Structure 1
Amino acid sequence: MRIFVIILFTLYINVISQQIDSTNSNLSKGTIQNSIADSSKVDTTKTKKKSDIDAVVTASAADSLFYDVKNKKMYVFGSGELKYKQTDLKSGKIFINYDTNDLEAFGIEDTSDTAKVKIKQAPILAEGTDVYEGARIKYNFKTQRGFISMAKNKEETSRYEGEKVKKVDKDTYFIEHGIFTTCELDTPHTHFTSSEMKIIQRDKIIAKWIFMNIGGVPFPIPLPFAVFPNEAGRRSGLVIPTYGQDALRGQYFRNFGYFLALSDYFDFTVTGDYYSKGGYGLQSRVRYAKRYDFSGNLSAGYSKIIIGEENDPQRREQTDWNVSLYHNQQIDPTSRFDVNLRFQSSSYLRNNSVDYRDLLNQDIISNATYSKRWDESGNSLTLNYSRTQNLEKGDIYESLPNINFTKNITYPFKREGVENLDDQKWYELVSYSYSGQLRNDRKKTGGNLTSRAGVMHNLSFNASPKIGYFSVSPRASYNEKWYNKRIKIENQVLEKVDPITKAVTKKDTAIVTDVNELNFVRTFDMSVSASTKLYGILQPNILGIEAFRHTVLPSISYSYKPDFGSDTWGYYDSYTNSKGEVIRYDKYQNEIFQGSGIGESQSLYFTLGNIFEVKMAKDPNDTSKTTEANKIQLLNLNASLGYNFAADSLKLSDLSLSYRTQIGELLSFDGSSSFTFYDFQGGLKTNRFLSSAGKGLFRLTNFNFSVSTLLSGEKTEDSRSNQKKSEDEFGTFEKKDIVDLNKVDATPDFSIPWNLSLSYNFNLSKPTPDSSQTYSNLSADLSFSLTKNWRFTVRGSYDFDRKEVSAPAVTIYRDLHCWEMNFVWHPIGTYRGFRFEIRMKAPELQDIKVTKSSGLYSGRR
């Protein structure tokens, strides 16, 4: 039966225990109580030394617990456990000396195997979150120093072992003949050995004359010393550089610098590059984050590229720079602030990136947005700054400010508490909405800078009464634009004299000038539409099919817009060329919201929607009450056609068709096509129907479709997907702030044994009967696990018109337990090349890696 003894060795209990003059006894709980009860018979006049143990000591044993009262010693045998403050010790044998405050623990010899001596119940010492294992442990309660032979310690992501471990203070240990590893196997794949190691808990591990051992084979050349991080989370330290050779820039050291973890909310990184032919680079980044509130970073980079030898006439130098700011903040539940700004020289990505998507990108887009909404009214406000930089031409487009205000749909005549449409009067369904925008745009092309500003108001009125089986929706809208300038075009005749024949030629040139004045452009339009639903159902009850349903959605609408290009409105002007021709132009065609448009419109539109569905019989073994899972949408087919009564010709619009279907998650298909009813002559569309020319009812002008599928094996449980995530304030922030231009693909998902993504796109364009252009492309992405540790990915596309493969890439990933291998290969094309890398997985040791690259990946950061 388990003996459990609680001994309170406080100052008072220690004084009483020293008054007891007794022989050694094998005690149970009852005998301890009896001994204390008889303490009045003992001489208490002697002064005894007090113990330095000043807290409760709890001891337990599965076999026996022996207390030597006279010598103040305690012996614990058999699965013993001792608890003192934050220290917890488990061992087969535990000896305590309360005079010297010493503790000694060791295991019990296992005699069940006579062929080999084994130790069971070896000591395990836990101090807070630190756990130590060893063959023998000595520990002093007063000095909190100790000694462990054949010790092992497991940290959060690493562990260290040693023949002898000596604790010299609360957080410092010295290890003799120790090893350090991040591999959790009993026989690690990789470890570091050292004759002397110093451990500073939650800080660092310092070792001298250290050997790296891989697969049991040590590297022959040791390092004089090494420092390993021994702290979870982010920590300050050097950023280890990479060394290599570049064909154009020479030998290099890249990404050498320092990372400074200033707090849980803020850090700073600075790195530099050096090339033997004279080039260099400097990068810095500041990150900040507070979980659930805000996060962001500010980064900047500068590089000088020197290509060619010093005496080479083709030698060239080029400097590049970039500055980027990322910030997102949820100010309160109704407002937020998001910033994503990027400013850089036009050649920065070309000279520094290894991502072919960056190299193909021609535009750098920046945005900063503040948004606010008012829940009670549904109104919203947005303030935005946007910037687009064209890397090829150098043009810059900016919009500042761009202010949008939207008033939610409002029903001014609606009665409170009446929500049922059948109980509402027709005028209660009348609503209005408003939106306003103020925008100022600037365009910089070469040395020219132009700007345009304006304000636009949109006010619309709607109603949605139901008349019988039809839903009728009348609508009227009003638009007003405010501009501070307009254009004026005048014709200028330029004469050119031929120096030989003396002939004079005249050329008309339109001279455009801005007229600064306040202008208003007011337009309006109105429309009315009616729609309904028709159903057709067929119930064959064969092959498990309960019913076919065909839903028809017919709709007709009429819209009217006046001709704002007429002289009545004053939005158009004209000039006369040298031939006497009068040319009309929109005075606001260059403004930010453009002008009013020309031409009257009275259009009648017909749309016909068709939904084809099938309902399968329910599985008799299915006990669920839902029936939605048995409905399958076979096809969604829509057609539309319009007629403009106000047009002087070509009144009938093209017939447009769109179609879409999806067979579960297996196959997705969608497409569209358009047809014209008019004949072509001389490459131009004429006001003559094809039927009148005996060429049929209509002619195909455009046809396109896309089909895609995603297939994958059944997902399995993979322990690697359950690895502990970072719990600091930054969370997953680092993944979306700055792209690591050196980083290859992320660790793949081994829980999916394979997946295949296929998509095919086809487009046929026939603007005239005699001309056509086609485009067809097949894209594929195949990923599979050959074994539980090998992952292959092949992706690419094939252009059937050019008969060439575009952007193929092969990625091979190998999980090597505490190491990982990644190989990326672009076999053909402009960006062909490869990158091969083997590195350790542990975050604190990821700078230990072997990298080889060529082509795209060589010589780029």
Structure 2
Amino acid sequence: MTSQKTSHHFTKIAFKPLHTNLFNIVLLSIFLTLGSAKVYSQDIVKKTVPIATKSPKSTTKGKNKTKNKAIPSTIATADTIKKDTVVVKKAFLEGKVKYKAEDYAKIDQKKKLITLYNKAELYYQDIELKSGIIVMDYEKNEVYAGRIKDSSGAYTQFPNFKQGANEVEPDSIRFNFKTKKAIIWNSRSDQGEFKIKAAITKKENDSVYFLKGARFTTSKDVDNPEYYFQTNKVKFIPGKKVVTGLTNMVIAGVPTPIALPFAYFPMSKETSVSGILLPSYNDSNTRGFSLQNGGYYFALNDHYDLTVLGDYYTNGSYGMRFESSYAKRYSYRGNVNVRFENLINSERGYPDYSKQTIYNIQWSHARDSKANPNSSFSASVNLGSSKYFKQSINQTNVGSNLNNTLSSSISFSKTFNSIPQIRMSLSATHSQNTKTQEINMTLPTLQLSVDRIYPFAPKEGIKKGFFKNINLQYNLNGRNSFVTTDSLFFKPEMFKNAQVGMQHTIPISTNFKVFKYFSASSSFNYQEVWYLKTISRNYDKDQSKVIDKVVNGFDAFRTYTFSSSIGTTIYGTFNFGDDKKIKSIRHVMRPSISYGYTPSFKKYYDTYASDATGTMTKQYTRFEGGIYGAPGITNSNVLGFDLSNTFEAKVADSDTTKVEPKKIMLLNNLNLSTSYDLNANGTTSLAWAPVRVSGGTQLFKNKMNVNFGATLDPYAVDNSGGRINIYNINNGGSLFRMTSANMTINYSLASTEFDKKKKDDDNQVARNGGREDDLFGKNTDVRNQKSQFDDKEDAEDPITTFFRSKLPWDMTFAYSLTYGNTNREKKIINNSIMISANADLTPKWKAGLSTGFDFVQKGVTFTQIRFERDLLSWRMDFNWTPFGDYSNWNFFIGIKSGVLSDVKWNKRRVNDKTVR
């Protein structure tokens, strides 16, 4: 202690006890000083009546008298002093300041400074400031924060300035508490998907910043980005927009020729913002150069939006698309796509010149069950030109191209909570064959059903026995049906051939037990059909042919049927011993016999002359061609036989710690069915129907699905291929003649990573009618390019990650075999295999292949090769279909971020789809 200076003693003794209270004492002294100034500046209220002053008796000599005479004058002057106009000063801070530092917090009262050093923190209102050093000038209402050097001389503890939702990490900052203005050096901040770094930033107020020497990027590392946009002058409004002057794009530190005189980046915190969608350039051999997918996005409100897109080719072809999504929480959600294209091939005057208009309409709507539990509304619409997906200039979807059917359904249903309960539904359906261009449409279909009624059931207790289980229903089905073609769709000709009908059915049924182990059921079904159109068939001598004349007017027919069935379940177990690998096999059989009878309704049939003489007559019914069919002229008296089988095994578990054996399924189902016609006379009709065999199972931990089927005919055939009333075994053959057989095998296997996560593929493929898997390749949408890579930050060095990474992969196999032997041809009709494989070659490279081989046609089926490269902030992919009718290639490179999705380059080449 003797070697230390006195000043050191003073610092240690005096500073430490006042370390936590000194600032409060200084503030208290300031407030007391301001308070005393306030007392002296109080107004002196002028009295209305002057107070008379009395001269005190003089007990002194001249000098004292003179002084005493001056006193009244002074008081009178004080009474006439004017009101004080000095403005009362407010406190220099409008909130409480909290601060702390690891090394020290020093207060300089003379300079009005508070200095915080090492891990300094300061909190004031909505402002949070953390830095190596913080200096607060409470007289100027300013604060300064900066870095400090560590023992090695490197700068550490960069400032972190946070105000509300905005956060900045600069080298240093100077901020004024009163004006809210600031100057920031080398600031770094995140605004949505953007990362911004600027040499100098001037904070004008809470909502406007001016930046100088700034760079914008979506890269994770703002100091060493893969790319950035360099600009010198920027006006930045957090959460809304960024407006810049001359902007140049820099890739890998190298300036590129890509520059704009000014740039505008929307940064709204809203879910969507309206804006222009930039088109992509392409070219075609027959249509010339083109701009595709250019348009505008309208963010109409929080519940729905609209996207308008267009394509234009220099030969005059063009296309328009309108896409809208809408949603309301707990009510409904859906989307609408309307596509229209005017296609021109070649040039006017050339022999191969052609012109055609195609369109496609898609609508998907789903109503939330919470909106109304007693009613529902849904829609799934996909209709338009049959050749749209084959000839569209904007669709490259092989799965949709190979699909031959478009279908739609719109339905509304409502339940009436009456006794008995009533259900009603209205629907419109559409089915379109893209090959034949035939369209079947119902507009609308009315369905009404009344819940089951048990007239003989007791009010309490269970329903048991034949009579107590008798129940009946009422069902109504009405349809307005159209059959038309592509060219007549929604034209007057379409509605002229409309068919209208209504079907009433009353099923009466019961079920009961027979001999304890047999379950029996019986049913009687009454049906009445109403039509508004019937036919009258006659021979027209003028035209020399039989013609049908449409008769307008109400007409009806009534039919009834009877059916009954009995069945049971038989269990069988084959034990092999506890010391065996296979402990036992369980066989479950469910045999059943059914009987059905339908009488003849010949009373609804008439005769007509089939030739000019009138001697040859044939029978017909005026209800032919009706949407609910026509009554039968022959009675039906058929016995049916069905047998279903299930095989299950118990095997020893590979895990020796488990006591119970493991159950595995050998055959999910093995079904056999046939029927016998009791009315068959043996000459003109054959009694036994072919035996149909079908089955399926799952192998390799349910990764392989195997399904098979066969048709076995007990009768022989003649030389022309017709069935004859001779059993095949009596004709020198086997017991059954296999007329057809088929088998399909689907096998999927994947690594653990691919097996755990589901692929989020584009649902648009399924909506267009294509396959959801990638056996026909991935869908290549020019406008919506989706990455297969997960956006995960690299926690390790890239080289270390490469050698430690587990490369996920998946494979899908599909095998199909069809055998035909209807006329003893013994021919393999179809024999093909399809394979799809996807793998991560490296953590940044993905590859995929879809291909197959047709062993009958001896050729390779659809083949697609695809690659994708993760370029950190960018993504690149390449899809190539090397041969076939749908050969094409597509190359894409662009920024992953959605806010810069228009910064991309896309090039593709497809086979020019000729208009036919």
TM-score by length of 2: 0.81
1:577 maps to amino acid: D
Structure 1 residue 206: Cα displacement: 2.0
The 3 A distance-change label for structure 1 pair 679 and 635 is same
The 3 A distance-change label for structure 1 pair 183 and 413 is farther
Alignment equivalent of 1:138, drawn from 174, 182, 185: 174
Q: Which residue in 1 is equivalent to 2:650? A: 615
Is 2:444 the counterpart of 1:401?
Answer: yes
1:616–1:631 CA contact under 8 A, matched in 2: yes
Is 2:834 the counterpart of 1:779?
Answer: yes
The 3 A distance-change label for structure 1 pair 736 and 801 is closer
Is 2:197 the counterpart of 1:161?
Answer: yes
Q: Which residue in 2 is equivalent to 1:673? A: 710
Q: Which residue in 2 is equivalent to 1:484? A: 532
Structure 1 residue 281: Cα displacement: 3.5
The 3 A distance-change label for structure 1 pair 263 and 360 is same
2:429 maps to amino acid: S
1:357-394 CA distance string (max 9 Å, x none): 34344554333211234578664322111234555665
1:600–1:647 CA contact under 8 A, matched in 2: no
1:644 maps to amino acid: D
1:13-63 CA distance string (max 9 Å, x none): xxxxxxxxxx99994334455667778986843357324532333222223
SS of the residue aligned with 2:688? coil
Alignment equivalent of 1:817, drawn from 872, 875, 878: 872
Structure 1 residue 575: Cα displacement: 3.6
Which of 548-557 and 358-367 deviates more? 358-367
Structure 1 residue 437: Cα displacement: 0.7
Structure 1 Cα separation of the partners of residues 641 and 857 of structure 2: 40
Structure 1 Cα separation of the partners of residues 893 and 396 of structure 2: 18
Structure 1 Cα separation of the partners of residues 665 and 693 of structure 2: 22
1:88 maps to amino acid: E
Structure 1 residue 451: Cα displacement: 1.0
1:195–1:209 CA contact under 8 A, matched in 2: yes
1:24–1:67 CA contact under 8 A, matched in 2: no
Q: Which residue in 2 is equivalent to 1:101? A: 141
1:334-354 CA distance string (max 9 Å, x none): 322223445645554413322
2:704–2:747 CA contact under 8 A, matched in 1: yes
Q: Which residue in 1 is equivalent to 2:234? A: 197
Q: Which residue in 2 is equivalent to 1:444? A: 484
Structure 1 residue 594: Cα displacement: 1.0
Matches within 5 A, 1:268-417: 268-309=306-347, 312=350, 314-330=352-368, 331-342=371-382, 344-345=384-385, 348-349=388-389, 350-352=391-393, 353-373=395-415, 379-389=422-432, 395-415=438-458
SS of the residue aligned with 2:833? strand
Is 2:280 the counterpart of 1:242?
Answer: yes
Q: Which residue in 2 is equivalent to 1:642? A: 675
Q: Which residue in 2 is equivalent to 1:803? A: 858
Alignment equivalent of 1:570, drawn from 591, 604, 609: 604
Structure 2 Cα separation of the partners of residues 238 and 365 of structure 1: 34
Is 2:468 the counterpart of 1:428?
Answer: yes
The 3 A distance-change label for structure 1 pair 37 and 806 is closer
1:747 maps to amino acid: S
SS of the residue aligned with 2:697? strand
Which of 124-133 and 272-281 deviates more? 272-281
2:208–2:237 CA contact under 8 A, matched in 1: yes
Q: Which residue in 2 is equivalent to 1:543? A: 580
Structure 2 Cα separation of the partners of residues 628 and 256 of structure 1: 63
Structure 1 Cα separation of the partners of residues 232 and 687 of structure 2: 93
Structure 1 residue 562: Cα displacement: 0.8
1:26–1:67 CA contact under 8 A, matched in 2: no
Whose radius of gyration is greater, 1 or 2? 2
Structure 2 Cα separation of the partners of residues 792 and 120 of structure 1: 44
Is 2:663 the counterpart of 1:630?
Answer: yes
Is 2:819 the counterpart of 1:764?
Answer: yes
Structure 2 Cα separation of the partners of residues 619 and 362 of structure 1: 48
Structure 1 Cα separation of the partners of residues 399 and 315 of structure 2: 28
The 3 A distance-change label for structure 1 pair 623 and 196 is farther
SS of the residue aligned with 1:46? helix
2:637–2:678 CA contact under 8 A, matched in 1: yes
Is 2:552 the counterpart of 1:516?
Answer: yes
1:780 maps to amino acid: I
Q: Which residue in 1 is equivalent to 2:79? A: none
2:673–2:693 CA contact under 8 A, matched in 1: yes
1:138–1:146 CA contact under 8 A, matched in 2: yes
Which of 41-50 and 797-806 deviates more? 41-50
Structure 1 residue 287: Cα displacement: 3.3
Alignment equivalent of 1:847, drawn from 871, 885, 902: 902
Structure 1 residue 719: Cα displacement: 12
2:116 maps to amino acid: V
Aligned length: 805
1:653-677 CA distance string (max 9 Å, x none): 1122122221232322111111112
1:460 maps to amino acid: P
1:324–1:340 CA contact under 8 A, matched in 2: yes
SS of the residue aligned with 2:731? coil
2:533 maps to amino acid: K
The 3 A distance-change label for structure 1 pair 756 and 520 is same
Q: Which residue in 2 is equivalent to 1:755? A: 810
SS of the residue aligned with 2:852? strand
Structure 2 Cα separation of the partners of residues 665 and 144 of structure 1: 66
CA-atom RMSD in angstroms: 3.3
Is 2:523 the counterpart of 1:475?
Answer: yes
Structure 1 Cα separation of the partners of residues 317 and 847 of structure 2: 37
SS of the residue aligned with 1:591? coil
Is 2:249 the counterpart of 1:212?
Answer: yes
Q: Which residue in 2 is equivalent to 1:696? A: 734
Structure 2 Cα separation of the partners of residues 644 and 143 of structure 1: 99
1:236-265 CA distance string (max 9 Å, x none): 211111123222222222222222212222
Q: Which residue in 2 is equivalent to 1:727? A: none
2:481–2:500 CA contact under 8 A, matched in 1: yes
Is 2:845 the counterpart of 1:790?
Answer: yes
TM-score by length of 1: 0.86
1:107 maps to amino acid: R
Is 2:504 the counterpart of 1:457?
Answer: yes
SS of the residue aligned with 2:300? strand
Matches within 5 A, 1:181-196: 181-185=217-221, 186-196=223-233
